[in-house]
Amino acid sequence: MPSRPPLIIGHRGAPGYRPEHSRSSYTLAIELGVDAVEPDVVFSRDGVAVVRHENEISATTDVADRPQFAARRTTKTIDGTEHTGWFTEDFTWTELATLRCRERLPRLRAASASFDDEQPVLRLRDVLDLVRAASVDRGREVGVVLEIKHATHFASRGFDVAALLESEIADAGWTGGPLTFESFESTVLRELRAREVAGRYVYLLESDGRPADLVSAHGSRAPSYRDAVTPEGLDRLVGEVDGISVDKKMILAPDRLGRSHGPTEVVADAHARGLVVYTWTCRPENAFLVGEFRRGRDRAAFGDYLAEWRIIADAAVDGVFVDHPDLGAAFFR
């Protein structure tokens, strides 16, 4: 284990137990001892920062069951992938506030799905207020790791994402715990940092593929996420961001048979350049583990997650995103 335990970050709250991004998901995460919670942010038609994993919301709300919104079902291409459903940017916040949260993975997390349709969709402002109040009540700082989703997509539709977030945070009068901004698109991080919005800036990295903002700007010449974790890529990030947040596969290095060959050098290489390193997402279910740590054929059953997490801990990461905060805290602390 590293000499200093990593931050335990409640990934969308505590979605192993409650529908992600619901009020009870965040409240439970804080009760279970997280150091920070992670809201994903997209936008409504009228520019409100809405807390949803994606701007397409048919899997995480009851919008498909609302007859008054049936005509808004449409098909869009988001970051190069075609999606059909209902999109936050086609609704006002007043309309979105009438929707109720649902479990995104009901077959894997039936217990969480039992809380479907009980809680309204939240704004970023709601989460900031909730975290600040909980920090006061519990006498300890709880941070917020704010993930900015699909910034290039929203920019192409006339949204000034950095300006909207700057205004939202200022209007909220945020005086809570540490604030971190993260995105898979470095452009929006650069724009927000240029506005001198106080916080830590972390670049999210997939294990494959290319960032949507760079593809939009450079097409097939756009560098890949993997390029960013080469020594040369990490050198370029110094001074641009405070750290990186990597897909756990970049640490575990599974082969085609699902056998881990980690930990890799990515964390040490980043640390050598003064960058912090987070990783996502530590989950115990077989469905999310690399092959060698799965046990049995039930995708919802817990595998040997402790063995997988041991490799991540041995890499000495600075923060881990978890869906089950109690399990994360018990192991990584």
Domain for residue 214, yes or no? yes
Dist CA 52 CA 19 (whole Å): 11
In this prediction, residue 4 carries a pLDDT of 83
Residues 6+ apart with CB under 8 A from 258: 290, 291, 292, 294
Q: Is the pLDDT of residue 171 over 80?
A: yes
Does 100 fall in a domain?
no
Question: Tens of pLDDT along 87-146?
Answer: 999 999 999 999 999 999 999 999 999 999 999 999 999 999 999 999 999 999 999 999
Q: Which helix (H) or strand (E) holds 272?
A: none
Distance CA 48, CA 265 (A): 40
Nearest CA to 181 out of 170, 168, 192 is that of 192
Is residue 257 domain-resident? yes
Give the CATH number, domain containing residue 206: 3.20.20.190
- Determine the Cα–Cα distance for residues 26 and 39; give it in Å rounded to an integer: 9
Q: Is residue 174 part of a domain?
A: yes
Judge whether 99 lies within some domain: no
Confidence at 3, pLDDT banded by 50, 70, 90: low
Phi, psi values for residue 25, rounded to 5°? -65, -45
- Percentage, residues of the chain above pLDDT 90: 97
217-266, pLDDT tens digit by residue? Answer: 999 999 999 999 999 999 999 999 999 999 999 999 999 999 999 999 99
Report which secondary-structure segment, H or E, holds 188: helix 186-194
Q: Which residues of 151-169 are buried (b: 16+ CB within 10 A; e: fewer)?
A: bbbbbeeebebbebbbebb
For the cut 80, the answer to whether the pLDDT of residue 176 exceeds it is no
Q: How many domains does the chain have?
A: 1
Cα–Cα distance for residue pair 54/59, rounded to 1 Å: 9
Whether 97 is in a domain gets the answer no
Is 85 part of a structural domain of the chain?
no
Q: How far apart are CA 225 and CA 58, in angstroms?
A: 28
Antiparallel, parallel or unpaired: β 143-148 and 36-38:
parallel
Q: What is the mean pLDDT of residues 298-321?
A: 98
For residue 105, tell me if it sits in a domain: no
pLDDT at residue 216 greater than cutoff 90: yes
The model's pLDDT over 265-297, given as tens digits with 9 standing for 90+, comes to 999 999 999 999 999 999 999 999 999 999 999
Give the domain extent around 252. 7-57+122-332
